[in-house]
Amino acid sequence: MRGASEGLATTFRVLTNTASRAAGRVLLAALDSPHESIQDRALIALLARRSRSGGRQILLRLHTMPERWIEIIRQHHVRMTRALRDAVLGNDRQLFLNACRAAVWFREYDLIPTLLSALGDLDRNSADVVAETILELTDQLYAEVTCPRDEQQRRDPQLVQQHIVSSLETSVAQFVRHRRREVVEAFALLARRDNGTLKQVLHDPHHAAFVAMVDALANSTRAGVMRLVLSFLNDPHIPSAIVSVLGKRADPKFVALLLRKTGHEPSTAVKRVFKRIRSIAWLSRPEEVLDQLDDDAQHGAVRLVMLSSVPRQEAFLFVKYLLVRGKPGGRREAAVALAEFSGAEANHLAMSALDDPDPQVQANVLAHLRRRGIPGVLPRLVKMADIPHDAVRNAVRDALEEFTFRRYLGAFDMLDDDVRRSTGMLVKKIDPHTLPLLREELESAMRTRRLRGLAIARMIEVVQQLDDAIIGLLGDEDALVRMEAAEALAQSSSRASRFALERALRDSSVTVQATARKSLNQRSTPRSRSDTLPNV
């Protein structure tokens, strides 16, 4: 068996290297051998001989070949280049179809110039096949260019790209000769935005390829074409045609890529571009597009829409949709954008957003709620001050910035008791500095400030929190201050305050003694205390 195997190898080696045409006929006959090993050796030998007739016969069988033959040819495809070129330019329909199929299978990029040259001389059906072949090949080349290079490949995809782009440029310039949109799309797949031919087409609406180019840029779902469109966002001289394309594209994949590129905070260049956009197609298709976006993308979508020049009613409906149905990131930014809209519907939307499960959405709405002038909004704001989220509490404080302890302190003497209480209770909720500042009043060297501090502590019911300072005032040199302190401590339930009041029963002032006794009696009698605010 070994001798037979060696003899077979020798036979095929001779058939491969001999110049005799008869060897080619023998090898072709061997392709039909019942033994797969002989078939495979014959195919390899025919590929090695690089004869036109052999390449033609192999190509003629391509559409019926077993998968293992196709893999053999893939490993030796460079030896088929001439046969492929002849088949594309020839008259045999099956050879032509097989050549186009093989070009795609084996990534024969060098065949693209030949395919481009043949376009104008073919019938409609053949031209359709060639055009689609060119487009598939350029798509494959784009994938190679954008992926990490396979070091086992001898050809450099970047150099191949330069060569193919040059051929495509010529074909685009001769668009009237073939009028194939596929050629224009193939060119857009590989070209960069600074390409001279591309700029010439995009800046000239009368160019023969202009309509096909805009159509390709607006509708192609190929990654390379979308990349080209998005690359113009950084172009300070972006063509009007690209601005129009950016507004017209509503396919989810493109929109997602757009929002990924523009990011959370659009650049100055992007802002400048979107200011020119007066229509955004995906605004009318929120279920198809917006619902598929993630948090960051929805956030970015709101930014872009608000930067654009689309009609404000369209922008409002978009904001409304996201505020009601968006993901957290989209709802948060929609709540911010709502500040730019007024009217009853916007006001209703703002009030509804206060019930959003995301505290940051609530906070973003609170930032512009007061200036809407919505009746009865103040009690709602006060109620939200109790929500245990810093973002909400801070937003409430900002919205009620006039309700500070310092302002309350300055106006206290001019207010009647009802207003003192209602405003003071509100200030206590809103201003985190209330207790520290009130303590300063209680510890002031000025008698009037100490007395006012005691009155405020009782009015806003914070005696318990400050009873150490108030207990200290039971030793004040002024009897009136001691009396007011004793009266205030009726609101404290601490043991320290009880002991202090019991000591005050021996105060040198009879009035202080009487007040201390009264406070002790009140402490032993349950009293109702309302934790709710009166209407403000």
Instruction: Map residue 75 onto helix, strand or coil.
Output: helix
Q: In the chain, which residues have pLDDT < 50?
A: 1-4, 527-536
Q: Under CATH, to which class is 422-524 assigned?
A: mainly alpha
For residue 310, what is the DSSP state?
S
Residue 359 to residue 227: CA distance in whole angstroms = 37
- The whole-number pLDDT of residue 166 equals 95
Which string of DSSP letters, residue by residue, matches 318-378? HHHHHHHHS-HHHHHHHHHHGGG--SHHHHHHHHHHTT-SSHHHHHHHHTTTGGGT-TTHH
- The whole-number pLDDT of residue 498 equals 93
In the structure encoding, which two tokens stand for residue 61, read together? Answer: 């069988």
User: What are φ and ψ of residue 506, in 5° steps?
Assistant: -105, 15
Q: Which has the closest alpha carbon to 95: 50, 53, 137?
A: 53
- The whole-number pLDDT of residue 55 equals 65
410-419: long-range contacts, CB 8 A cutoff, minimum separation 24 = 412/452, 412/455, 412/456, 413/452, 417/459, 418/534
- The whole-number pLDDT of residue 530 equals 40
Q: Which has the closest alpha carbon to 186: 138, 141, 227, 143?
A: 138
- The whole-number pLDDT of residue 230 equals 96
Q: Are the C-beta atoms of residues 306 and 334 closer than 8 Å to each other?
A: no
Q: Give me the helices (H) in 106-156, please.
A: 112-119, 124-146
Q: Give me the helices (H) in 203-311, please.
A: 210-219, 223-231, 240-248, 252-262, 268-275, 286-289, 295-307
Residue 130 to residue 89: CA distance in whole angstroms = 11
Instruction: Map residue 243 onto helix, strand or coil.
Output: helix
Segment (H or E) for 267? none
Q: Are the C-beta atoms of residues 78 and 116 closer than 8 Å to each other?
A: no
pLDDT tens digits, 113-135: 999 998 888 888 889 999 999 99
Residue 184 to residue 166: CA distance in whole angstroms = 13
What's CA 116's distance to the chain center, in Å?
39
Q: How many helices (H) and strands (E) does the chain have?
A: 34, 0
Domain ranges of the chain: 1-106, 422-524
- The whole-number pLDDT of residue 275 equals 95
Entry pTM = 0.73
pLDDT tens digits, 357-366: 999 999 999 9
Q: Are the C-beta atoms of residues 257 and 218 closer than 8 Å to each other?
A: no
Neighbours of 304 (CB within 10 A): 21
Q: Which has the closest alpha carbon to 184: 206, 159, 210, 205?
A: 210
- The whole-number pLDDT of residue 452 equals 94
Q: Which has the closest alpha carbon to 232: 274, 290, 281?
A: 274
Burial class (CB in 10 A: 0-12, 13-18, 19+), 399: buried
Q: Are the C-beta atoms of residues 165 and 190 closer than 8 Å to each other?
A: yes
